[in-house]
Structure 1
Amino acid sequence: MPARRDTRFSVWSPEAEQLWLCLFDVEDRETRLPMLRDADGWWHIGAAGVGVGQLYGVRADGPYDPDRGLWFDPDKLLLDPYATAIDRPFRYDPALAAPRGEGGDTAPLMPKGVVTAALPDLPHQPPRFAAGGLIYELSVRAFTMLHPDVPEALRGTVAALGHPAIVAHLKALHVSAVELMPVNAWIDERHLPLLGLSNAWGYNPVSYFALDPRIAPGGIGELREAVAALHAAGIGVILDMVYNHDGESDRQGPTLSLRGLDARGYFRYAPDGSLINDTGTGNSIACNAPPARGLILDSLRWFVRNAGVDGFRFDLAPALGRMEQGFDPAAPLLQEMRADPLLADRILIAEPWDVGPGGYQLGNFGEGWLEWNDRYRDDVRRFWRGDSGMLGHLATRLGGSSDLFGHVATRSVNFIAAHDGFPLADLAAFEHRHNEANGEDNRDGHGDNLSWNNGVEGPSDDPEVVAARRSDAKALLSTLFVSRGAIMLTAGDEFGRTQQGNNNAYAQDNEIGWLDWEGRDRELEQHARDLAALRAACPELRDVAMLTDADVEWLDEEGRPLTVEQWEDPERRTLALRYRASGLVIGINGASGPCRFRLAQGNFVVPPRSVHVLTD
């Protein structure tokens, strides 16, 4: 046992009348110690004899007036926003959301913070990610729960990411960096327990420091070891961070941490006193107010110093730059992130939209940022679905999306499918969503998926349908791997993962959401590996400079430059792209019949609805 020592606790709550540090022993008995407030709104206490392993929480008293954003309730045990570990996962209970005086003491329901030993700071090293690399998005739990080579005790955890079988799979795909869907401690949305479901994705955080014990029982040390194992294989690690809201939701939501300490400082409120909901989740963090800005920056630094992560992807990222007048790429938080010594060189990826006013900001985050490019996703899907007039749009996306990111270099993260929506294989098997398992009468999720079903909705044993769907999946993957800019592949899309038509599987912590390693499509997987090897061997495919006429020729079937009339032909679905310097040729045939190209390198036939790459 480590020696007990004094530990100092500090909590921000400028409008509280009293705070208590609450210490819990192994039998969950509580000792309350009053804290003292300083002139700046911080409450402090030095707890004698308290050391590593101590369980604790905070209680706050003061005015209770939710209409004015005041939620003080000493019956609510609160998680310290800076707690770096918790003793168990969050579980929703209606008592957590009860009005003051009605719900009773919530301490038995709440995870406790755990005092942890400080880890030595890791040396600051450049990110392990090259421009134009492959980002591999994965849910830690779903990715490894059914992997036959991962020991059962490790399945579903961060530790599994360092297993040799996982590392070998990533290296075979030439993955530049894995992007981990949220690993911070989260809570279920309140309607899910009533449906017998749970949040499987983690986009409902309570803590911005503590990891969720379900997927990281070893805490920050477990993440640190997994990052080190991936780094040893040359693979970077990007964390998906959710700073736009927290799991306390709307007025009817639970009081767990920020709401009970300083709701008016941490959340955005409308003039009428109601919570602003630019996220669609019930609340919006005031990311550019000093309390939240400091919390976010400290959280980012924590993961760089203690786990050595290479970067961050930000969920609903306009929240990070939203000011009273709207989104501002020069907002204080964004400026401080770029200027911070620990953060300035990290990979920063924006999901550049939310549901608030002016929430669509694709292309507007500026230098130093990569951005998820949904225009790429939609245009590629439309082309392979067979929509008219898509040839020019496809060429723009292949070349780096100069219409969105300027004409020098692209900041695009190209993707065709992500965690949210249909998996790649389901795009060619389901024209409509099938979310009945979510318990919302198939009303949730996007209604327009730009998908198709090859004549049969859902699973099919017809060999022709199966072959057509595999061919479409290959074409989609091929398009992604020959595109300029960073590319993103969601785990399992390389081998035909399916969610059985569910395009909103956030609550499916089961076989719908878990990757089926035993039943994967080996032919499709080999196709993806071949594409990855091709991209790794061809620097022109990894270049992030915008394609120009000085770099490439856009050719028709006879090897002649496409004319204006051909570009504008709404029914034209074939083209060849030839790199002038290397002679690399990419032939694309979106038509229903084969296409013979006659080029200087020779003649070749591209089968219907497929992509062919010819190297010297």
Structure 2
Amino acid sequence: MLGAHAAADGVRFAVWSGAAERIWLSLFDKKGMRETDRLEMRSDGDRIFSLSVAGLKAGQRYGLRADGAYAPERGLWFDPDKLLVDPYAIEIDGPYAYDARLGARRGEGGDTAPLVPKAFVASPPPPVRRKPLGLAPDGLIYELNVRAFTKLHPAIPEDIRGTVAALGHPAIIDHLLKLGVGAVELMPIIAWIDERHLPPLGLRNAWGYNPVSFMAIEPRLAPGGLAELRAAVDALHAAGIGVILDLVFNHTGESDVFGPTLSMRGIDARTYYRHDGDGSLVNDTGTGNTVDCSQPMVQRLVLDALRHFVRHAGVDGFRFDLATVLGRTEHGFDPQAPMLAALASDPVLADTVLIAEPWDIGPGGYQLGNFPGRFLEWNDRYRDDMRRFWRGDASTLGALATRLAGSSDVFRRNGERVTRTVNFVAAHDGMTLADTCAFSEKHNEANGEDNRDGHNENFSWNNGVEGGSDDAVIAERRVRDARALLATLFLSRGAIMLSAGDEFGRTQRGNNNAYAQDNELTWLDWRGRDVALEAYAFALAAIRKASPVLGDAAFLAGETDGGVADVAWLDEAGVPLSVEQWEDPGRRHLTMVLASGTRSGGRLAVVVNGGDEGVSFRLPLRDEFRWRRLQPGGQERAEADWTVAARSVAIAVEETSGGGKGSR
């Protein structure tokens, strides 16, 4: 086993390097300030350097040092002055902090031990006796940043605000249950380092997508380490809520040739990172380096990290950032690449949820719909088409229907019968849902890069004067459009994802790349939230829960079962849309009627009006059934009122009427 493992008579340390000539174990005192011993480790025939030290116990602080050729132009960075964090460390004694000396060339920067966290010899808790929750098909994936989500919550005790422990608080769990959350997706909680340009700007990484090692939890988010995560998972599980970890295996915070040497670069950069033939780093991630997931030792490390969190913290799944990197080989992306095949077939991960962000910025990096069948995929086509429809772009009616029905154009390419889409209209990266309806352009000035960072095309709109006008009409338009985006999301088939706070109107004031804003710009304003919008989201969640047809992942075919089509696409008169109507770029409304849409066996109708005028509509009738219109977040509409207001969504359920023809 790699890493540090305590036994009754001492501790065994082991690390793999295919290129190091010598590796030492550095031991430190109880405060981690003084190096008390430096012991050379011995290599076996498989290039595993190991050493057993009698008398040591759990809690011992340590680091590694490696020596060998130093030729950065060829990807060789060995320097015994650089203290290195064990890639298998599961606990460190403090956060990483950028310092230019960490990137100094050999012989120039001095010993970096005072600058680098020390790993603890830590024995993980006993394996969890898991009862896999899976992800209920009608359940919501709720993406959240642990610190931003709980930092300002008034019900959370101040001493745990902004930490993993806060996720288990009853106030948090109550909110998640009202929203119908099936699983929380935690943005990275693994220890990371600030990008080197941030400290001079007075900023720091708030998202965590810049890890150093893959198992050690960020001490600022979980001072209690793995035990704190496990306790939060247990509390969420007790409420029927799963936990998905967002993990970054595509790059590390060691960055480009000017970045810090902290761990894998100093141990064996040529193995851990992809290089061109001339020895230069491949940058398919835009961060300076790319983890080489085609290497067997990298695959072993990734799998061991995932198994660690499943076995010892009980997590239910993983979301993989820039997941195309995981499938890259020397020939480009391959859906059958060894890393992806190993993830899909590993027995420990067999009952976990696997979610791919199916793109990176390298050649052929956009791979939406091309991951193996075990993977759900973030569907940015859904996000963009839904935004374009509600913005009022022409010729988007067909795209709207396709996205509502599960994106068969993307996920049915290879004969699949079920969709693997994760539908979302906003995520951590990009405009918030509220900002999508309030800003036509990004406003990232606070990031210190003259508004050059972040996506330029957000398919957003301002609904009036940017900057938060007090005009009541503009404010109402923005809330109306936010409701419309929420409604189409909750009423779409397949898995759905909501970014925390979007259910009550969180804003980042137009910043669509707030990764460096660890402040009130990203901290959720619980006291100032839009409680009416929140109630609307809660009501949508209840409708979705009562309508299992929405969570059904099977593709729709328009075929009939007992005379009732699994889906019907209708115009306002209640008759099937004609070819001319589908092709009309000015048409802004349609009705989707789904069979068996309610638990009573009746149908579910979703009426979408993206136009600027109200539309009266009719629904097809069946003997012994009647339609009942729902009004999320308010009183049910009178039966005679079958008008859908401008830029809104109406919902109706079909119920038995006790005889005779139904209403409408």
TM-score normalised over the length of structure 1? 0.98
8 Å contact from structure 2 (residues 423, 497) kept in 1: yes
8 Å contact from structure 2 (residues 336, 372) kept in 1: no
Provide the rounded CA distance (Å) in 1 between the counterparts of 2:9 and 2:425.
53
Q: Which amino acid aligns with 1:614?
A: A
1:82 corresponds to: 88
Deviation string 1:61-107 (CA, Å, 9 cap, x unpaired) is 11110011110001100000001100000000000000001111100
SS of the aligned residue for 1:498 comes to: coil
Deviation string 1:302-342 (CA, Å, 9 cap, x unpaired) is 00000010000000001111111111111111111222110
How far apart are 1:272 and its partner, in Å? 1.3
SS of the aligned residue for 1:598 comes to: coil
Provide the rounded CA distance (Å) in 1 between the counterparts of 2:7 and 2:461.
63
Provide the rounded CA distance (Å) in 2 between the counterparts of 1:175 and 1:228.
16
1:455-604 mapped onto 2 (5 Å cutoff) = 455-550=464-559, 551-581=566-596, 582-599=602-619, 600=621, 601=627, 604=642
SS of the aligned residue for 2:617 comes to: strand
Is the counterpart of residue 409 in structure 1 residue 418 in structure 2?
A: yes
Provide the rounded CA distance (Å) in 2 between the counterparts of 1:366 and 1:255.
35
Over aligned residues, Cα RMSD in angstroms? 1.2
8 Å contact from structure 1 (residues 535, 541) kept in 2: yes
Q: Which amino acid aligns with 1:569?
A: D
SS of the aligned residue for 1:615 comes to: strand
2:636 corresponds to: none
SS of the aligned residue for 2:348 comes to: coil
8 Å contact from structure 2 (residues 133, 240) kept in 1: no
Q: Which amino acid aligns with 1:19?
A: I
Is the counterpart of residue 64 in structure 1 residue 84 in structure 2?
A: no
Provide the rounded CA distance (Å) in 2 between the counterparts of 1:487 and 1:449.
20
8 Å contact from structure 1 (residues 288, 333) kept in 2: yes
How far apart are 1:47 and its partner, in Å? 1.2
Aligned partner (choices 219, 229, 236) of residue 223 of structure 1? 229
Provide the rounded CA distance (Å) in 1 between the counterparts of 2:75 and 2:133.
41
1:389 corresponds to: 395
SS of the aligned residue for 1:199 comes to: coil
8 Å contact from structure 1 (residues 192, 198) kept in 2: yes
Provide the rounded CA distance (Å) in 2 between the counterparts of 1:541 and 1:206.
40
Provide the rounded CA distance (Å) in 2 between the counterparts of 1:455 and 1:167.
36
8 Å contact from structure 2 (residues 494, 551) kept in 1: yes
Aligned partner (choices 181, 184, 198) of residue 175 of structure 1? 181
Provide the rounded CA distance (Å) in 2 between the counterparts of 1:18 and 1:586.
66
Provide the rounded CA distance (Å) in 1 between the counterparts of 2:486 and 2:580.
29
8 Å contact from structure 1 (residues 132, 544) kept in 2: no
1:294-309 mapped onto 2 (5 Å cutoff) = 294-309=300-315
SS of the aligned residue for 1:470 comes to: helix
Provide the rounded CA distance (Å) in 1 between the counterparts of 2:432 and 2:34.
48
Is the counterpart of residue 41 in structure 1 residue 47 in structure 2?
A: yes
SS of the aligned residue for 1:176 comes to: strand
How far apart are 1:3 and its partner, in Å? 10
How far apart are 1:455 and its partner, in Å? 1.7
8 Å contact from structure 1 (residues 124, 342) kept in 2: no
Deviation string 1:172-231 (CA, Å, 9 cap, x unpaired) is 001000000000000000000010000000000001010000101111111011000000
Provide the rounded CA distance (Å) in 1 between the counterparts of 2:356 and 2:157.
35
1:609 corresponds to: 647
**Which stretch shows the higher mean deviation, 579-588 or 185-194?**
579-588
Is the counterpart of residue 442 in structure 1 residue 451 in structure 2?
A: yes
1:343-358 mapped onto 2 (5 Å cutoff) = 343-358=349-364
1:29 corresponds to: 34
SS of the aligned residue for 2:300 comes to: helix
SS of the aligned residue for 1:376 comes to: helix
8 Å contact from structure 2 (residues 134, 353) kept in 1: no
Aligned partner (choices 6, 9, 13) of residue 9 of structure 1? 13
For structure 1, the residue ranges without an aligned partner over 5 or more in a row are none
1:279-298 mapped onto 2 (5 Å cutoff) = 279-298=285-304
8 Å contact from structure 1 (residues 127, 347) kept in 2: no
How far apart are 1:118 and its partner, in Å? 3.1
How far apart are 1:408 and its partner, in Å? 2.1
Aligned partner (choices 299, 319, 322) of residue 316 of structure 1? 322
SS of the aligned residue for 1:35 comes to: strand
1:86-105 mapped onto 2 (5 Å cutoff) = 86-105=92-111
2:273 corresponds to: 267
How far apart are 1:395 and its partner, in Å? 0.1
SS of the aligned residue for 2:509 comes to: coil
**Which stretch shows the higher mean deviation, 169-178 or 399-408?**
399-408
Provide the rounded CA distance (Å) in 1 between the counterparts of 2:529 and 2:305.
37
**Which stretch shows the higher mean deviation, 485-494 or 124-133?**
124-133
8 Å contact from structure 1 (residues 241, 314) kept in 2: yes
How far apart are 1:369 and its partner, in Å? 1.0
Aligned partner (choices 139, 142, 145) of residue 136 of structure 1? 142
8 Å contact from structure 2 (residues 134, 352) kept in 1: no
Deviation string 1:435-460 (CA, Å, 9 cap, x unpaired) is 01000001100111100000211211
1:108 corresponds to: 114
Is the counterpart of residue 162 in structure 1 residue 171 in structure 2?
A: no
Deviation string 1:116-153 (CA, Å, 9 cap, x unpaired) is 12311112432331234210000000000000000000
**Which stretch shows the higher mean deviation, 574-583 or 486-495?**
574-583
Which contiguous aligned blocks of 4+ residues in structure 1 show a shift greater than 4 angstroms?
2-5
Deviation string 1:226-260 (CA, Å, 9 cap, x unpaired) is 00000000000000010000110000000000000
**Which stretch shows the higher mean deviation, 578-587 or 390-399?**
578-587
Provide the rounded CA distance (Å) in 2 between the counterparts of 1:594 and 1:152.
48
Provide the rounded CA distance (Å) in 2 between the counterparts of 1:3 and 1:348.
34
2:631 corresponds to: none
How far apart are 1:597 and its partner, in Å? 0.3
SS of the aligned residue for 1:567 comes to: helix
Provide the rounded CA distance (Å) in 2 between the counterparts of 1:61 and 1:586.
65
Q: Which amino acid aligns with 1:492?
A: G
Deviation string 1:240-295 (CA, Å, 9 cap, x unpaired) is 01000011000000000000000011110001110000000000000120111111
8 Å contact from structure 1 (residues 20, 58) kept in 2: yes
8 Å contact from structure 1 (residues 433, 502) kept in 2: yes
Q: Which amino acid aligns with 1:263?
A: A
Deviation string 1:459-502 (CA, Å, 9 cap, x unpaired) is 11111011000000000000000101100000000000000110
Deviation string 1:509-531 (CA, Å, 9 cap, x unpaired) is 00011100000000100000000
Provide the rounded CA distance (Å) in 2 between the counterparts of 1:295 and 1:545.
35
Provide the rounded CA distance (Å) in 2 between the counterparts of 1:424 and 1:39.
55
Provide the rounded CA distance (Å) in 2 between the counterparts of 1:570 and 1:25.
71
